[in-house]
Amino acid sequence: MSTAIEIRSAVKRYGTTTALHAVSLEIADNAFFTLLGPSGCGKTTLLRCIAGFEDLNEGEIRLFGQDIARLDPNHRPVNTVFQHYALFPHMTVLENVAFGLKMIGVSLDDRRARAGRMLEMVHLSAFADRMPTQLSGGQQQRVALARALAPEPKVLLLDEPLSALDLKLRQAMRVELKTLQEETGITFVFVTHDQEEALTMSDRIAVMSQGRVQQVGSAREIYEAPVNRFVADFIGETNLIEVTVERIEGDWARVILPGGHVIRCAAAGTSPGKHHLSIRPERLSLAKTGELVATIERVVYLGTDLQLLTRLTSGEAIQVRLQNSARTEVPAPGTQVALHLEEGAARLLAD
């Protein structure tokens, strides 16, 4: 698969503050790639550098092999969809979508035809003659997407475009965005702090923190095999337990859990001593005997799931997720229970 974007040792400083620390990434063509991280991690700065709205202090960015450092934003083969839709209020929906085509000299008939195809793609053909103020938030966002896609950019940059929508609409738009990316074959680079958005839409995810890329991988790789405490804690819910690595046996580590039970985990580049273990709440279950002993402190009803808040005899708080079912028997608060780790559930972290 060819590379759409190659970022090499990108550094961006604002005065004495470094927003990007030698970031290097490769983004494949025709991929849905997500930059994920908390506020201030550098993800939007990196997106703006790709778009040309910010200049790098060091490093380079290549689009399909071309160094674009000296290209103005309007000469780069990319378009950007922002969090705020920025539709022209005095133009109809069709005119909004066709505006970018007009700016690059496309004839009236051709731009009307192409804008019409874009509106059909985002299921808004019936709204072509309406004004933006007559549309809902979700419809306005789809118009902004159609406008950005109309000039057929090689790369579409999306800066948290769903954050202003309500939950149900965000969930629906995730499906539409992924479908659009697959239908158009355009490389999407999506910025978000929402882990669920990243996990449900992305082919690849780069998790960022403090201006550095912590891990790059598929949604499953990021969730199932986090490389450090930050990634494990930021992606979804997890239990972080301090354990003792007794010894390393090849690619495996002999790990002593709180309470003394011994398990084997992938060594993950660790050495003997104190480390942390990541265990997802859904990978734990109640059993007659188990690797951990805990006391139920609270049961939280979440509809599809039951969340058990427990505490180990050694003092650590542990969450357990059980699928809600009429057959699920849940001990009352104060009950001591054994917790069983699903095979492969424990992930040793290289702190």
Instruction: Residue 324: give its domain's CATH number.
Output: 2.40.50.140
pLDDT of 191 > 90? The answer is: yes
- State the CATH number of the domain containing residue 110: 3.40.50.300
> Within 10 Å of residue 324's Cβ, how many Cβ atoms?
13
How far from 152 is each of 100, 130, 147, CA to CA, in Å? Answer: 10, 24, 10
Higher pLDDT, 17 or 173: 17
How far from 68 is each of 51, 104, 136, CA to CA, in Å? Answer: 10, 19, 37
User: Taking all residues of the chain, what is their mean pLDDT, rounded to a whole number?
Assistant: 90
- Which domain, by its residues, includes 245? 237-349
Quick one: 159 and 190 in the same domain?
yes
**Which tens digits make up the pLDDT trace of 125-170?**
999 999 999 988 888 888 888 888 888 889 999 998 877 777 777 7
Return phi, psi of residue 131, to 5°. -95, 155
Quick one: 206 and 121 in the same domain?
yes
Angle between helices 108-121 and 137-149 (to 10 degrees): 130
Q: Is residue 27 part of a domain?
A: yes
The CA distance from 207 to 287, in Å, is 35
State the residue for tokens 């079912």. Answer: 325
**Domain final residue pick, 165, 191, 224:** 224
pLDDT of 351 > 70? The answer is: no
Give the global pTM: 0.87
pLDDT of 26 > 80? The answer is: yes
Quick one: 219 and 244 in the same domain?
no
How far from 3 is each of 22, 61, 186, 344, 345, CA to CA, in Å? Answer: 19, 12, 12, 34, 34
Quick one: 134 and 212 in the same domain?
yes
Q: Is residue 149 part of a domain?
A: yes
Q: Give the confidence band of 63 by pLDDT, cuts at 50, 70, 90.
A: very high
Quick one: 213 and 247 in the same domain?
no
Quick one: 52 and 141 in the same domain?
yes
